[in-house]
Amino acid sequence: DAKTTQPTSMDCAEGRAANLPCNHSTISGNEYVYWYRQIHSQGPQYIIHGLKNNETNEMASLIITEDRKSSTLILPHATLRDTAVYYCIVPQNAGNMLTFGGGTRLMVKP
């Protein structure tokens, strides 16, 4: 199963873009990359996922490198409410149980 590596923490100024990197060098060809976030004391919230192409939705953009060994989650205009732990996940067993590692603790500062 592909494992992911993320920085432990990052800071971002309010209103600026937050770029959260993730390495998944052992990902296989049919495995997706998912991003979730967990705001303090809440359940994990789905953000976005992708396979090969870059993806964008109302929350974020996902940029996946051509070799698929890494990806970057972009929050284009971070707000204080985006302060959370962000998890990059490559699900085991074709979309079954999710394994959340340590994630990146993003602190958005005024």
Segment interacting with other proteins (CB under 8 A) among 21-29, 57-65, 72-80, 96-104: 96-104
Q: Is 101 in the site for other proteins (CB under 8 A)?
A: yes
Residues between 58 and 77 that touch other proteins (CB under 8 A): none
Question: Do residues 18 and 10 touch, judged by C-beta distance below 8 A?
Answer: yes
- Residue number with CB closer to other proteins (9 or 45): 45
- Residue number with CB closer to other proteins (15 or 45): 45
Which residues make up the interface to other proteins (CB under 8 A)? 32, 34, 36, 42-46, 49, 91, 94-103
